[in-house]
Amino acid sequence: MFDSLFSAGSTVALPAWAALGAAPWLGRAKPAIWALTGIVIPVGLALAYAWLMATYWSSAEGGGYSSLSAVHALFQHPGLLTAGWFHYLAFDLFVGTWIAREGERAGIAPVLLIPCFALTFLFGPVGLLAFLALRVAPACAALARELHRRQPRLAWFGGLLLVAMVPALVAATVDPRTLNGVGVWVKPLKFMASVSLYALTTAWLLGDLPRAQRGSRTERTIVAVVIATGLFEVAYITLQGALGQASHFNESTPFHAVMYVLMGVGALSLNAMALPLAWLFARHGGTLAPAYRLAAVLGLVLTFVGGAGAGMAISQHGGPTFGAIAGGAVLPLFGWSATGGDLRVAHFLGIHAQQLLPLAGALIGMLHLPFERATVWLASGVYAVLIALAFKLAYAGVPLFSMVA
């Protein structure tokens, strides 16, 4: 019976997806197709799902949603597994119809939506992500043009690093090698993203300065150092990742020892460029909104203090962690230790002060809050305290995870 139900669900869903993809070229039939794929069929599948769950829920011993093992036990029963298939079909078809409607409203060419439909049917959320990427593409293109107008060389550099992340992501998917329990491509990807964001933020901030400062010696120095040091850091870290070797704290040969020292000099020089940029804002930013100008100056100073300070602390300690269990749990995405103190938390807060505090200053100015400058000082002070607290927790061997557990 369950095999028949599974086949029946697929037999209904596949023609519905085909009709959804063809709907833009079927004239007056399109509203009827959307009603069918967005309401009628999902409701029918949902009713079948509800019946299967109500009938067989009690049959799955130890099944439920409280843990991964409970979910595994739940879907050991063929009736509940079939219900899961109907759940998948109903929601994906509903989301596909929403994509079709939103795509037409946004003026996206129907042919571009077809890959989104295919991905939604096959991989669910991946199709939704593909559509959302299409949806924001015009805004991203406008942002890229604005960044190029403000500082073309940094815009190109940051953009090329983002493009370089694509083959690195592919490599991370197909390359099973690890280094100290972490995929060899994780560190190159992190540095590509971090240096790109630093370069693009610097490009944006330089564009806020008066035209008289565009092309000044200070600006040219900032741009040259960011590109040279950023390129060196990313290139060497990527090379070492491809070779399956450590880039940081690698003194196994004279060559690696020299390169590690140069990496430290490069990272410090890269972070140090926040200081002349802060000076340019402080001296020549008189036409900018006062709250934004002050927040940019303070954010750039904290970028150097927190980012470079944490980097030097990590180097002096010989690693970022204190009291962490080797191979122990880490926070998802960030990779920070969940079993001991980690200086990378302070480093993260420091380098991103360059983005967060200017954004806060711009928001304070837009809202016309009373005592704008005092509010900026307060926000910056709180941020500085957070960086200091992150340092304290790291040296005390306390993981950030314990603060949010």
User: Is 330 strand, coil or helix?
Assistant: strand
Contact present, 100 and 30 (Cβ < 8 Å): no
Task: State whether 35 and 103 are in the same domain.
Answer: yes
Q: 3-state SS of 65-105?
A: CCCHHHHHHHCCCHHHHHHHHHHHHHHHHHHHHHHHHHHHH
Does any domain span residue 106? yes
User: Does 144 fall in a domain?
Assistant: no
Instruction: Flag whether 146 is in a domain.
Output: no
- Tally of domains in the chain: 3
Residue 203, in any domain of the structure: yes
404 pLDDT more than 80: no
Q: How far is Cα 3 from Cα 335, in angstroms, rounded to an integer?
A: 43
Whether 405 has a pLDDT exceeding 60, the answer reads no
**182 and 303 share one domain:** no
Contacts of 288 (CB under 8 A, 6+ apart): 208, 281, 296
Is residue 403 predicted with pLDDT exceeding 70?
no
Domain boundary among 139, 166, 181: 139
* Predicted confidence band of residue 326 (pLDDT cuts 50, 70, 90): low
- Both structure tokens of 106: 């946004």
Q: Is residue 267 part of a domain?
A: yes
Q: Are residues 304 and 371 in the same domain?
A: yes
Does one domain contain both 73 and 180?
no
Mean pLDDT, range 398-403, rounded to an integer? 72
321 bridge partner residues: 342
pLDDT band at 327; cut points 50, 70, 90: low
What pLDDT, on a 0 to 100 scale, did the predictor assign at position 331? 80
Higher confidence at residue 361 or residue 77? 361
- The answer to whether residues 359 and 391 belong to one domain is yes
Q: Report the C-alpha gap between 387 and 405 in whole angstroms.
A: 20
Helix axes of 344-351 and 309-317: crossing angle, nearest 10 degrees: 160
116 and 84 in one domain? yes
- Do 325 and 371 sit in the same domain of this protein? yes
Query: Which of the four pLDDT bands, split at 50, 70 and 90, describes residue 2?
Result: confident
Q: Are 363 and 378 in the same domain?
A: yes
Mean pLDDT, residues 344-363 taken together: 94
Cα-to-chain-centroid distance, residue 327: 24
Average pLDDT of the residues in 171-194: 91
Q: Domain check: are 103 and 200 in the same one?
A: no
The answer to whether residue 145 sits within a structural domain is no
Domain final residue, candidates 282, 317, 346: 282
Tokens of 368: 């016309």
> What is the domain range of residue 265?
151-282
